[in-house]
């Protein structure tokens, strides 16, 4: 991903390391994005 260095993103729906949202977070972090996560607490 080009041009994302120094950007900020909020990703909702992180339920576990198997979720699509987690994969998105990993990709964004590798591109240099600062992340804030909305996660789902397990019962």
Per-residue model confidence (pLDDT) at position 40: 76
- Domains of the chain by residue range: 8-39
CA angle 15-18-20, nearest 5°?
A: 75
| HSE toward the beta carbon, residue 40, CA cutoff 13 A | 12
Per-residue model confidence (pLDDT) at position 9: 96
**Residues β-bridged to residue 37:** 11
Q: Is the dihedral of CA 25, 29, 33, 35 positive or negative?
A: positive
Mean per-residue pLDDT, 4-12: 94
Task: Please write the tens of the pLDDT for every residue from 15-41.
Answer: 888 989 999 999 999 999 999 998 877
Dihedral (C-alpha) 26, 30, 34, 36: value to the nearest 10 degrees?
A: 0
């Amino acid at each position: 991903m080009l041009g994302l260095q120094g950007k900020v993103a909020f990703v909702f729906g992180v339920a576990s390391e198997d979720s699509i949202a987690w994969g998105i977070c990993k990709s964004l972090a590798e591109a240099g994005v600062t992340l804030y996560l909305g996660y789902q607490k397990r019962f």
